[in-house]
Structure 1
Amino acid sequence: MKDILIITSYFPPEIGAASNRIFHLADGLQKRNYKVSVITPLPNYPTGRLFDAYRGKLKQTNKENNITTHRLWIYATVSKNKFLRLIAMLSYSYSLLWFFTFNKIPKTVIVQSPPLLVAFTSMFLLRSKKRKLILNVSDLWPIAGLELGALKKGFSYRLLEKIEHFNYKKAHVVLGQSEEILTHITSIFPEKETFLYRNYPDFEAPEIKYHKQEGKLQLVYAGLLGIAQGVLKLCQELDFNKIEFHIYGSGAEQKEIEAFIESNPKLPIYFHGRVTRKELHQVLLQYDIAIIPLLNRIYGSVPSKIFEYAKLALPIIYFGGGEGETIIKEHRLGWVARVGDYKHLNSVISKICYTEISTTFKEQIKEAAICKFDFNTQLDQLQDLL
């Protein structure tokens, strides 16, 4: 039985795409007879506060689903203050340093990036000719930070670029969730071995449910309510003549969204809060269309919701540009609106009618997900690199 260590900043019971991606990777590997261990911070995402069950602890080790999980201390915050966010990343890096010093580390290690500094700590301290380091890149930093407006070009940006390049250089294999990510990496290190590892879901596709064929279209958003997603902007810009808008999740914009709904009681916007992923899958089946927005196009980003919603046979309006837009069009998963163009988004929505959201259309979406976005096929191919 081969030992594999996964180092990540997100893991259940935390919610979100990053947490789900790493859990399914760990669970899939242990089902293939690998001895899997995970290092992760004490749960705190996305609230920025340690979950109640973990407060007052410096670390905790437990075993669930045959996965040994080491939860380490972190200074938890979701503050927009860059200094505090840096402290949070450095605190986890400090915990990793202590863990590496006093524990035996397997010969194969998968490191999640971003955060860049956490990945750098792992790649720097664990580099060895006898150890295989696999870097799993889900977003391109610092490029994404620049496009989101969180970073500006200057000394700190150049420093982060050096850290980014160091991480790629020390990795024996780089996994990327998009073709754009892999193209970026091979432009820097042409000989680097890479593998396209998308965030495909690992659950049984449910039966398709019948939907009403009258009234307003029920549009749903589910996920992180962060600045990048721009859900508050959607609430402000959507034309509600034909739709009602349902929101699930939590994050930095939550209070502003709730305040907007309270101050505009006549708008058909409904905030349902946060639910578990299992509950969400059942809830989503009652809606007509899901929307996947990004406030700005982010190079390298492919929202994992595309693959999850497809497996739920839920038609998608994609409002994020880039590679995700190509996937929606290629596999006919729904509709595309130009990123940042709310007039075009409203125009696209206004032309959708119930006859388009047919059982046949949903079956076609589900079939595409099963055939093209299969988690187990992808993981079987990844095994050859481990």
Structure 2
Amino acid sequence: MEDLLIISNYYPPEKGAAANRIEQLALKLSQNNYKVTVLCPLGNYPKGELFADYKGKFSVVEKRQNITVKRLWIYPSVSKNIFKRTLSVLSFSSILFFSLLFKKTPQKVIVQSPPLLLSFVAVLALWITRKTILLNVSDLWPTAAIELKAIKPGSISHKVSLFFERFIYANASTILGQSNEIIHHIKEQFPEKKCYLYRNFPDHQTEGIQMHTNVNEPITLFYAGLLGVAQGVLELCQKIAIEGLNIELHIFGDGAEKVALEAFIEKNPDKKIIFHGMLERHLLHEKLKNFDLAIIPLKTRIYGSVPSKIFEYSTLGFPVLYFGGGEGETIVTENKLGWVAPVGDFEKLNSVLNEISTIGKSTIQHLQKDVYKTAQQEFNLERQIQQLIKENVF
């Protein structure tokens, strides 16, 4: 049984796509005869404060579903202030650096990127100690930071980030990219680098959600996930026009926009938007039995990014309304998973919503079966892992 270490800034019981993605990778590798250890911060995300089980502790070692999870101290923060966010990542990164240098580590290590600073520090320490580095790239930084206007082109932070980016690509033995755009971007800089597509497929181990929706009730559209700047859920709620339609919007999640979102919904009860807060994943899936389709928004088109919610909800049998542009739009269209609207075009989004309201719940329920069947065939995590193992990636 080969030892394998995964370094990530997120891991359950933290919430969100990043934590779920790394957990599923760890579990699948464990199921395929790898001895997997995860090195991550003390649980704090998305609230930006240490969870009760980790308060007052410097490090914790625990077992989660046959995965050894080693957690190191972090100064937690989800502040929009870039200095505080950087300090948060740096606090964990500095402890991680010395841990990788001076503690026994498996020869083969998977490093999750972003955060870019964390992946740079991890790759630097692993390069010094001559480890085999597998870089798992789920978003392109600093490209995404520029598109989200988090940093300015040509600024010092931009130049430093570009150096970090080139360093981690150059020193990784193998790179996994969640999109074809990511692989293309890396290949432009390092044509000889071994790169493999690794989609963020879920592993629900379910026959799909058995829907309990009534055709005589309004169509229930839901968003479930982080309420952060990149998702733009607050702006979505402000500009969506479903007051005169046979549609309700239900929101599940937590994050930086939560307080502002709750205030907006309270002041605008006629918008037909209901906020449910954050639920554990198994409870969320139970709750979703009463809903019809998912909406997946992004505030702006981010090159390289493909929201894992596309795969998450289609494999449960939910058609999706995708509002994020890029490669995700192509995936939804080519696989006939639902509807798309150009990112940022709220006029077109509202036109699509009007179309959905008109076709009614009965048509959507037929579409659910087709979406589920397609997703089970096309978005298979076990088959993807087996192919990568066959190609000696891990």
* Superposed displacement of residue 129, structure 1: 8.4
Equivalent position to 1:258, from 258, 262, 281 = 262
Q: Which runs of 4+ in 1 moved over 6 A?
A: none
CA offsets per residue over residues 92-119 of structure 1, 9 Å max, x none? 1111023123311111000000011110
User: What are the ranges of 5 or more consecutive residues in structure 1 without an aligned counterpart?
Assistant: none
Shifted more, 58-67 versus 358-367: the winner is 358-367
Counterparts of residues 127-276 of structure 1 (less than 5 Å): 127=127, 131-153=131-153, 154-203=155-204, 204-240=206-242, 241-242=244-245, 243-276=247-280
CA offsets per residue over residues 102-150 of structure 1, 9 Å max, x none? 3111110000000111101111111168521000000000000000011
Instruction: Give the Cα–Cα distance (whole angstroms) in 2 for the partners of residues 68 and 210 of structure 1.
Output: 38
Instruction: Give the Cα–Cα distance (whole angstroms) in 2 for the partners of residues 165 and 261 of structure 1.
Output: 44
Q: Is the 8 A contact 2:222 2:295 kept in 1?
A: yes
Please state whether the residue corresponding to 2:112 is helix, strand or coil. strand
Counterparts of residues 249-328 of structure 1 (less than 5 Å): 249-328=253-332
Q: Is the 8 A contact 2:295 2:320 kept in 1?
A: yes
Residue in 2 that maps onto 1:56:
56
Residue in 1 that maps onto 2:81:
81
Please state whether the residue corresponding to 1:252 is helix, strand or coil. coil
Please state whether the residue corresponding to 1:139 is helix, strand or coil. coil
Instruction: Give the Cα–Cα distance (whole angstroms) in 2 for the partners of residues 271 and 209 of structure 1.
Output: 20
> What percent of counterpart residues are identical?
49
Please state whether the residue corresponding to 1:244 is helix, strand or coil. strand
CA offsets per residue over residues 317-351 of structure 1, 9 Å max, x none? 00000000000000000001111010100001101
* Superposed displacement of residue 304, structure 1: 0.2
Q: Is the 8 A contact 1:247 1:273 kept in 2?
A: yes
* Superposed displacement of residue 305, structure 1: 0.4
* Superposed displacement of residue 359, structure 1: 4.0
Residue in 2 that maps onto 1:364:
370
Please state whether the residue corresponding to 1:282 is helix, strand or coil. helix
* Superposed displacement of residue 209, structure 1: 2.1
Shifted more, 353-362 versus 99-108: the winner is 353-362
CA gap 1:170/1:218 in 2 versus in 1, 3 angstroms: same
Q: Is the 8 A contact 2:101 2:125 kept in 1?
A: no
Instruction: Give the Cα–Cα distance (whole angstroms) in 1 for the partners of residues 126 and 225 of structure 2.
Output: 34
CA gap 1:345/1:93 in 2 versus in 1, 3 angstroms: same
User: What are the ranges of 5 or more consecutive residues in structure 2 without an aligned counterpart?
Assistant: none
**Correspondence 1:385 to 2:393:** yes
Q: Is the 8 A contact 1:136 1:175 kept in 2?
A: yes
* Superposed displacement of residue 356, structure 1: 6.2
Q: Is the 8 A contact 1:43 1:51 kept in 2?
A: yes
Residue in 2 that maps onto 1:16:
16
Q: Is the 8 A contact 1:245 1:270 kept in 2?
A: yes
Q: TM (normalized to structure 1)?
A: 0.97
AA partner of residue 221 (structure 1): Y
CA offsets per residue over residues 164-203 of structure 1, 9 Å max, x none? 0100000011001011000000001011000111110011
Aligned length: 386
